[in-house]
């Protein structure tokens, strides 16, 4: 049936003559990642940090305490240094952060794959929870194409309220303003999916084989969250541990060679431990000379991997006695990475295509 019919499943003659034209009958897939600033200058960074750190899912501290800290201290001091960090990894050719470049490539690859599977019935788009492209805008764009069913794919293998849940919050806020809401599915976390684990291990084995040295220790680093979130019932810590355990079992390595940690802590509260930077320092001080680090919780390389892990933690390791250090890339839009995203999308689209 032609997509431009006035209502899906109804012939034009059945509708009133003044009924507006409505496209319908298509299926949309929206890949969603965390976000990236629009530039590395002070004001671009400030806008991005304000949106991110204003989210109550990210910072659960009382607003009475948090707003003065955020607006009078953090948004005054952090945009400059953070902008310089972003500038060191910036995609200057496209004038955008690498997270945006990679997420776009993932969406384009998935679109080509689903077109081969389902023809022109499916539209694939991508958005950022913070920054641009905005989720509200891209959901509306899919609806304008006639997508009355949309699959949201939060690109987080492990569920956390501060990542996966806030994607859903924002999506449903957008739907609250729509007269005709699309049917929505949200793909679940895939932290223990065999396809995901196999992709990680395959990618790591290939990258390790390219190194001019054999690491004594491989450190698996996940993004941290405050310990308080775990105590409130967030499953993130348990899902990270399971991913790490399944990876270690696939490699067949002992726990002292294949370790895990949590990075990117912020503020004075206790976060999930062990901390990545402290672990890297302790490894070097204990006599470990060769190590590699990988971040399986990130579906695309970004500031936290390219700058924090590959630059900051490399410096920590070398400064405390280490000699050889390697950062192993995220799955990104590699064949292994796309195998995971295609698998998740096809599984969750069952019954729709």
User: Would you list which residues are annotated within the binding site for Fe(2+)?
Assistant: 223, 304
Considering only CA atoms, which of 145, 133, 124, 118 is closest in space to residue 170?
133
Rounded Cα–Cα distance for residues 301 and 292 (Å): 16
- With residue 30 as reference, give the H or E element that holds it: strand 26-36
Bridging pattern class, strands 183-186 and 147-154: parallel
Residues 6 or more apart whose CB falls under 8 angstroms from that of 88 comprise 307, 311
**Which tokens sit at 272?**
């999930």
Burial label, 97 (beta-carbon count in 10 A; 0-12, 13-18, 19+): buried
**Which tokens sit at 289?**
């000379």
Task: Let me know: does 8 contact 25? Beta carbons within 8 Å.
Answer: yes
> Binding site residues, as ranges?
223, 304
Tell me how far apart the terminal alpha carbons of the chain are, to the nearest angstrom: 15
Alpha-helical runs (H) found in 159-312: 166-176, 194-210, 227-231, 236-251, 276-285
Q: Which letter does DSSP use for residue 126 in this model?
A: E
């Amino acid at each position: 049936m032609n997509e431009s019919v006035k209502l899906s499943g109804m012939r034009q003659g059945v509708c009133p003559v003044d009924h507006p034209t409505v496209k319908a009958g298509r299926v949309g897939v929206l890949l969603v990642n965390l976000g990236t600033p629009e530039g590395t200058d002070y004001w671009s960074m400030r806008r991005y940090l304000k949106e991110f750190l204003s989210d109550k899912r990210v910072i659960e501290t009382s607003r009475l305490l948090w707003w003065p800290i955020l607006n009078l201290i953090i948004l005054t001091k952090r945009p400059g240094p953070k902008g310089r960090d972003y500038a060191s990894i910036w995609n200057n050719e496209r004038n955008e952060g690498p997270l945006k470049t990679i997420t776009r490539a993932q969406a384009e690859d998935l679109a080509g794959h689903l077109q081969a599977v389902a023809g022109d019935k499916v539209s694939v788009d991508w958005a950022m929870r913070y920054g641009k492209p905005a989720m509200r805008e891209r959901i509306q764009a899919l609806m304008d194409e006639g997508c009355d069913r949309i699959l949201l794919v939060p690109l987080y293998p492990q569920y956390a309220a501060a990542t996966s849940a806030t994607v859903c919050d924002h999506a449903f806020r957008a739907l609250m303003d729509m007269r005709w809401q699309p049917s929505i599915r949200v793909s679940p976390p895939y932290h223990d999916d065999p396809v995901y684990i196999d992709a990680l291990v395959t990618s790591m084995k290939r990258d390790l084989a390219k190194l001019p040295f054999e690491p004594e220790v491989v450190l698996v680093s996940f993004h941290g969250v405050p310990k308080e979130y775990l105590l409130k019932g967030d499953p993130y810590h348990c899902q990270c541990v399971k991913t790490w355990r399944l990876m270690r079992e696939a490699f067949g390595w002992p726990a002292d060679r294949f370790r895990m940690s949590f990075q990117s802590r912020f503020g004075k509260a206790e976060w999930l431990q062990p901390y990545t930077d402290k672990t890297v320092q302790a490894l070097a001080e204990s006599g470990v000379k060769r190590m590699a680090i990988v971040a399986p919780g990130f579906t695309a390389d970004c500031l936290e991997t390219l700058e924090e892990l590959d630059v900051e933690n490399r410096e920590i390791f070398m400064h405390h006695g280490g000699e050889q250090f390697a950062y192993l890339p995220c799955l990104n839009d590699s064949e292994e990475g796309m195998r995971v995203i295609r698998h998740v999308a096809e599984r969750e689209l069952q019954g729709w295509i």
